[in-house]
Amino acid sequence: MGIFRIGIAGIGIMGTFHADAITSGAIQGAKLAAICDSSAELLGKSRSRYGEQVAYYGSAEEMMTSGEIDGILVATPHYDHPQLAIQAFAHGLHVLIEKPAGVYTKNVREMNEAAKASGKVFAIMYNQRLNPMYQKLRELIESGELGEIRRTNWIVTNWYRTQSYYNMGSWRATWKGEGGGVLINQCPHQLDLWHWTTLLTPKRIRAHCQFGKHRSIEVENEVTAYVEYENGASGVFVTSTAESPGTNRFEVAGSRGKIVIENGKMSFSQLRQSESEFNAACTNPFGSPECWNIDIPVPPGDGPQHKGILQNWTNAVLNGEPLIAPGQEGIHGLMLSNAMLLSTWTDQWVDFPIDEERFYNELQQRIRMSESRQEAVR
Amino acid sequence: MGIFRIGIAGIGIMGTFHADAITSGAIQGAKLAAICDSSAELLGKSRSRYGEQVAYYGSAEEMMTSGEIDGILVATPHYDHPQLAIQAFAHGLHVLIEKPAGVYTKNVREMNEAAKASGKVFAIMYNQRLNPMYQKLRELIESGELGEIRRTNWIVTNWYRTQSYYNMGSWRATWKGEGGGVLINQCPHQLDLWHWTTLLTPKRIRAHCQFGKHRSIEVENEVTAYVEYENGASGVFVTSTAESPGTNRFEVAGSRGKIVIENGKMSFSQLRQSESEFNAACTNPFGSPECWNIDIPVPPGDGPQHKGILQNWTNAVLNGEPLIAPGQEGIHGLMLSNAMLLSTWTDQWVDFPIDEERFYNELQQRIRMSESRQEAVR
């Protein structure tokens, strides 16, 4: 295969964004071969935009069986991601899904199994993994500079959204339309990065979601979650869409010091000796390890972002390049999100891995209750 | 009364510190009249230090009934504060207690009732209330500059203590000796300030204490607590004694912006219009209120601290000056501390005001279990 022929499923805001990237020639080796959408209006707009070089289909099935594409980029609403990916694997296509991986882990797990069985290249649009800041953090942790992680704390409350944002579409911020609020819509990147940079999976989680805080919506828009990791470390995650100006501060404390990312800068307070060694040897009751305050140099900017993931997916298909964001890893961030809701709904701890059936059933209850409200909003 | 004659109960590290302050002449209108301690050795040292101008007693009762003092400064171990204060009020003395107010709210409440009945001047050594930084924060909140509080977050993990610190005394960091760990020994000031600066009392709390984390002690030395306030706001408090270098960052978000205290600086991100008003009028889905980043000028230094509280107590007795830290307010911070332990022990929410009997009984259980360990430590 000399050229990787991509079909885009769903030509809304993100689908169009990706189509522009491919047709601009920015993705070497890739070609936009087809677009599908159930909306004739959106298809018409796309035809005017991209011309007859691209094939247009009214359904994903038609596009998948057309023989015109080698891979599919799924940019539909959240709920459809797993089902479309499974369908695509069945048709022997490579898949790149937009985040989140889905709304609940039950069918995301099925998607992952289908991906594995197919042997196709499966990626997820975790473009923030290409942000030099988070790459550096992961590198510092992986290389042992921070020692063993003791505590994490991410306050990411700079997702300010007005009521007019929620009023844009009746599907927004509803259980039926999106399956959640700030966790499923705004935070998938941070939930992935929290896991991806620290290399830690929680053992259990206790979370407190607040629903419709200062906004007329039914889903969560403020969350505080506490996690305990397998190694005994603890962590906190705080997010909100109703706070202005928000905070975005990620702190990771380890046995060799502390890293803080805030305001586009990374500060590393590094101990010359690990805290454990110092403590074992110290005879001064009020002594503390020698600490160096270091400004870690990080390349400016956000990195290649979406285009970088598209190029990596293309290279993985054409040349076997390792994936930056394997699709199977989408379940980690989603499980954090599901666990935070489930802990709130049950008012209890949630152990990892979560009870997928229980989350699914609890979500279905809320979807059923959300219908009448949906009508009212319309 | 021209001169306020003070007796100090307990002449350990803090008692000596206060005695030095009074005998140095730094406290106008006050005189160190007496000292009591059950340790003949400590009394002997004090006699050499302060001479025969001061009376020395082997028991608090003797000192209280001597007729030599008008007020008592209680600087004994935590457990004794309420009982000594109650005894002093019965003898018609004014009282200043060191922090914490006590170990459990049950007898602190009794102390507060005795204080009220006595009509005497009752203060607590909350010297951090004189820190210009926290005074400014309280002033900004009280005057409405920050609007209605939406979220608080205090990470105060810069209480690094080595194992050698805990090994200094067999009573340290035991249920029997101190009645707790970082919450009762290191954090009383922050727990008071969290309440005093924000003017908020939690409705309920869900906390996660970790006991003997990276240290061979039985009490809590790392805590993450989540609170919900009456007005719907949420809050987080994180502390640790095993982290180096720790963090001390206090963030308060309100409807008019956000204040952050960190590294000796106060930053105020102030909205020109309240978030609620902006949201109600905004038609741009991704709009956000205009925000001004302001460095709030705060007088340098920590303020008059302990001497300031001593002077204020003296002035209150001599001239009726209003108290900066009325003794009755010690119960607020202690109740937060008790609630965090109780929530961990019961693995449940704790509603405010807490069930004092339950906390007391749970603590007694741990004191009984802690005895054998105590012996082993000796």
The CATH code of the domain that includes A179 is 3.30.360.10
Residue B210 lies in a domain: yes
**Domain count across chain A:** 2
What CA–CA distance (Å, rounded) separates B58 from A45?
92
Q: Could you tell me if A101 and A219 lie in one domain?
A: no
Residue A95 lies in a domain: yes
Q: Could you tell me if B19 and B110 lie in one domain?
A: yes
Q: Could you tell me if A238 and A173 lie in one domain?
A: yes
- Sheet with B149-156: list strands edge to edge: B291-295, B265-271, B257-262, B248-254, B149-156, B234-240, B220-229, B202-211, B350-351
Scanning every residue of chain A, which has its alpha carbon at the shortest distance from the alpha carbon of B238? A236
CATH number at residue B43: 3.40.50.720
Q: Could you tell me if B220 and B357 lie in one domain?
A: yes
**pTM score, whole prediction:** 0.96
Task: Give the A window 189-218 contacts with B, CB below 8 Å.
Answer: 206, 208, 210, 213-215
pLDDT given at position A378: 34
Residue B288 lies in a domain: no
Q: Name which of A150, A224, A285 is nearest B164 (Cβ-Cβ).
A: A285
Residue A285 lies in a domain: no
Residue A371: is its pLDDT beyond 80? no
Residue B373: which pLDDT band, with cuts at 50, 70 and 90? very low
Distance from CA of A153 to the nearest CA of B (A): 9
Give, in order, the Cα–Cα distances in Å from A368 to each of A114, A180, A346, A365, B137. 29, 14, 18, 5, 46
Q: Could you tell me if A121 and A134 lie in one domain?
A: no
Peptide bond into B132 cis (omega under 30): no
Residue A355: is its pLDDT beyond 70? yes
Q: Do A245 and B269 touch (CB under 8 A)?
A: yes
Residue B293 lies in a domain: no
Residue A374: is its pLDDT beyond 80? no
| Interface predicted TM-score (ipTM) | 0.95
Scanning every residue of chain A, which has its alpha carbon at the shortest distance from the alpha carbon of B166? A285
Residue B371: which pLDDT band, with cuts at 50, 70 and 90? low
Q: Do B238 and A283 touch (CB under 8 A)?
A: no
Q: Does A169 touch chain B (CB under 8 A)?
A: no
Q: Do A279 and B162 touch (CB under 8 A)?
A: yes
Residue A269 lies in a domain: no
Write out pLDDT tens, residues A177-229.
999 999 999 999 999 999 999 999 999 999 999 999 999 999 999 999 999 99
Scanning every residue of chain B, which has its alpha carbon at the shortest distance from the alpha carbon of A254? B243
Residue B372: is its pLDDT beyond 80? no
Task: Give the B window 52-111 contacts with A, CB below 8 Å.
Answer: none
Domain assignment of residue B53, given as a range: 4-126+305-326
CB pairs under 8 A between A and B: 149
Q: Name which of A165, A278, A279 is nearest B285 (Cβ-Cβ).
A: A165
Q: Could you tell me if A370 and A244 lie in one domain?
A: yes
Q: Could you tell me if B120 and B150 lie in one domain?
A: no
Residue B185: which pLDDT band, with cuts at 50, 70 and 90? very high
Q: Is the dihedral of CA B178, B179, B183, B187 positive or negative?
A: negative
Q: Could you tell me if B100 and B223 lie in one domain?
A: no
Q: Could you tell me if B230 and B205 lie in one domain?
A: yes
Residue B102 lies in a domain: yes
Q: Could you tell me if A180 and A245 lie in one domain?
A: yes
Write out pLDDT tens, residues B313-326.
999 999 999 999 99
Q: Could you tell me if A122 and A133 lie in one domain?
A: no
Q: Could you tell me if A180 and A119 lie in one domain?
A: no
Q: Do B157 and A164 touch (CB under 8 A)?
A: no
Residue B74 lies in a domain: yes
